[in-house]
Amino acid sequence: MQDVKYIQAATQVLEILKYMPQKDINRKIPKSFINFLQDISNKENIPKFNHELPINRLNINEQTKEILGFMYITWWSNEDERKEYKKIIQTLF
């Protein structure tokens, strides 16, 4: 059984991605990962975000932040950004 927090996180991530340029999503994020998020998401409880707010002001859970961070470091960032992000993560632990 899927962890409820990750079901909610997948649902939140998919809702956030709806408001990003589709060509960027298609180009950078593997379809298999999007399919995975869709498979585990909650189709009945779609979050409603105010997309006029910056992402750091959205009421998203920690697991959503984890998934977005994973996506950023894996597919969106360049090598320099990736190194900087890893340094930040290492200082937290």
Residue 2: pLDDT over 80:
no
Domain map of the chain by residue range? 4-92
**Residue 27, token pair as written in the block:** 């180009």
Q: pLDDT tens across 12-42, in order? A: 999 999 999 999 999 999 999 999 999 999 9
pLDDT tier, 45 (very low <50, low <70, confident <90, very high otherwise): confident
Q: If DSSP codes are grouped into helix, strand and coil, which group holds residue 49?
A: coil
| First-to-last C-alpha distance (Å) of the chain | 29
